[in-house]
Chains A and B, each alone.
Chain A
Amino acid sequence: MKNELVIRPQKRMHINLKELLSYHELFFYFAWRDVKVRYKQTAIGASWAILQPFITMVVFTLFFNKVAGINSGNSAVPYAIFSYTGLLFWNYFSQALTRSANSLVDNQSIITKVYFPRLIPPLSSTLSALIDFGFASVIFVGLLIYFQFAPTLFGLLILVPALLVTFIAASGAGMFLAAVNVKYRDVKQALPFFIQTGLFLTPVIYPITQVPQQYQWLLYLNPMTGVINAIRSSFLGTAPINWSLTAISVASALFLFAFGLYYFKGQEKDFADII
């Protein structure tokens, strides 16, 4: 008979990919609702997605570049463009992670009332943050024009894998934190602090060359270090990409994803009971 479904206690690592795919519409609906709701009842709406990174970049340029004397590490690259490249990707990562980590708790009322694959909220929120990335990119293009800075073609090509790695890292950590958040609301408290600290542990403000060479690999354990440096190296043509170090970042992102997924699936069955 068609559509036969057996409900029984699940094994830990049971991922029904076919079912997940059959819910693809709901996946996009969640993302769509997130985007719709985000800037409702604000006066300037989605302009916030443009203003926030822009103002941050201006502040960074004034204080870190002009006052503290940190530069891009390459005289051909203006600090504004340099720091904005980092911010663009760091903001995507941090927003995707924050939304993903809170996605189950925010949808509490739905989770206790309707069945759908629980992976949908954390994954679709990582996707919806991409819209903000798109808005923020407008400023980036503006900066390139203003400083008459031509990006390399190779840089444009690397954009997609860079976003993909960011997505994988953010949704991996997001799945883990979302599952923890269901049980321990400490996540909500700790996450902003973690993200603030992360900004300094990632070469957003400073070039990685400022870090002593023998410790650089440590920073590359952070997936965003690899992403941001690869983008800067290629897009801005600052230096050739350090492939072996970048591989550490990619591996670390993949590990985060696998770990997040594993933890999430283990906790999943109790979500509706304890959320």
Chain B
Amino acid sequence: MSTSKPIIEVKHLSKVYNIGHEQKSAPGTLTFRDSIVQTMRKPLEIFTGHKMKQEKFWALKDINLDVQPGDTIGLIGKNGSGKSTLLKVLSRIVEPTEGEITMRGRSASLLEVGTGFHPELSGRENIFFNGAILGMSQKEIKSKFDEIVAFSGVEKFLDTPVKFYSSGMYVRLAFAVAAHLEPDILIVDEVLAVGDAEFQKKSLGKMKDVTADKNRTVIFVSHNMEAIQSICNKVAWVSNGEIKEFGDTEKVVASYQAYDSGANQLSVAKRKDRQGTGVARLTGLKVEENIVRSKELTIKLAIGSNANEAFVDFKLSLDIYDSRGTNIANLLNSTIGKKLTIKPGKNIVNVRMTNFNLVPGEYTINTFLAKDQYNSEIFDWLEGAAVLHVPAYDYYDQGAPPSVNGKVSYVDYEID
């Protein structure tokens, strides 16, 4: 083909949601009564001048993007930035409000593994239905059936209803179907974040195969920067419904990470999205790490107390989440038998982790402060108080960092 037209061309794409009272309360559970009440209110508003708020929310604002054939584009950004909306519009699940997208090729979307799987149907039946839902023809499914089954590793249970499958088997079968799609354009949403470590490795490998095919264009959303870095040749960073930066993977990921950590260090004291009485609160947080050299990491916390007396049984709890949102560790003062006293005014508490063993990646930390171990008064609870970027490091002192795919932590062991 001599044409050099982009395979996906996004022009001035916008999507607006009306967030009035109706959708905020409970989407999809609107009753006739609600709508009657609303219709009755509208003329009333004219007289009272008391307008019900109908806010417009721009989930996507004037997005422009050209994707060349063979590209693998990563979409990154915070939750709520508009990545998923963009993906849904590209997948034709929701309609844009303005603008248009031109797709020059057959596309398939994988926003979820196992879409349309029915628990009562057997593995075999689900392969056919799921394949059809994802856009495969019956002929295509039949010709790839054996391959799919082999990839999934559930041969023995092919005629068992999938409700009897373990969650691992279920995911493997579902991914196997998806992995055998062969569209020109593949749109994928974080499907790698499922299954056990071994399977994740397998699926990441499959993703690499898929993207290595130069006839295939892939759009891939993930919070996992490593997956993005190992798969994508270009990255679009979405923020507040706009594309903030688009270009080479390394460059965009670096500026995203720099922005992300900067924003977090700045804001701990100023952040409003916190819960608790605020009698004592986190006023500062700083991460000092020396993971690469000595596997040490210290979280310095500044805690300010407005009370007149000291809290002698203070509770400090830090939860660490990985990039998939799994809570992988909890650091709590009472767990290690440490009594913590917080005096009126400013206090500095250091949480020091020695022999740090989490695999490279991005982690977020939630902080929780309470009066005592029984939470009789919750002072301050802040989600995403800090973001940890753990670089690749040589945990086992072998001269090079160990492989990472799908693991959570390194453990010490000996083999005799």
* Chain A residues proximal to chain B, CB less than 8 Å: 1-10, 25-26, 29, 32-33, 36-37, 40-41, 107, 109-116, 182-186, 269, 272-275
Contact = CB atoms under 8 A, between A and B. Distances in A.
Contacts, number: 113
A104 B358 CA distance: 44
18 contacts: A4-B103, A6-B103, A7-B90, A8-B96, A8-B101, A10-B95, A36-B120, A37-B121, A40-B120, A41-B120, A110-B116, A113-B112, A114-B116, A115-B93, A184-B35, A273-B94, A274-B23, A275-B28
B293 interface: no
Interface in B97-114: 97-107, 109, 111-112
B31 to A, nearest CB: 6
B92 A274 contact: no
Contacts of B78: none
B115 interface: yes
A5 B95 contact: no
B355 interface: no
Contacts of A2: 105
A41 B93 CA distance: 33
A98 B8 CA distance: 41
A110 B133 contact: yes
B3 interface: yes
Q: Is the interface of A mostly helix, strand, loop or mixed?
A: mixed
A3 B88 contact: no
Contacts of B121: 33, 36-37
B162 to A, nearest CB: 12
A52 B57 CA distance: 51
Interface stretch (B124-132, B197-205, B244-252, B278-286): B124-132
B109 A272 contact: no
Given A10-B95, A185-B31, A115 B109 contact: yes
A233 B32 CA distance: 42
A17 B259 CA distance: 48
Nearest to B184: A3
The 7 A-B residue pairs with the shortest CB-CB distance in the complex, in nearest-first order? A8-B100, A115-B92, A40-B120, A7-B101, A269-B95, A29-B132, A5-B103
Interface of B: 3, 5, 17, 23, 27-32, 35, 88-107, 109, 111-112, 115-116, 118, 120-121, 125, 128-129, 132-134, 137-138, 161, 184
A85 B182 CA distance: 50
Nearest to B111: A113
Given A25-B132, A25-B137, A114-B115, 16 more contacts: A2-B105, A5-B104, A5-B107, A6-B101, A7-B96, A7-B101, A10-B95, A29-B133, A36-B120, A37-B118, A110-B116, A113-B112, A113-B115, A115-B92, A183-B30, A185-B30
B112 A184 contact: no
B316 to A, nearest CB: 40
A114 B102 contact: no
A114 B188 CA distance: 12
Contacts of A186: 31-32
A4 B104 contact: yes
A25 B88 CA distance: 23
Most B Cβ at <10 Å: residue of A107, A115, A116: A115
Nearest to B105: A3
A116 B133 contact: yes
Contacts of A269: 94-95
Contact of A115 (B28, B91, B100): B91
A25 B102 contact: no
Nearest to B101: A7
Nearest to A190: B32
Contact of A272 (B32, B93, B98, B129): B93
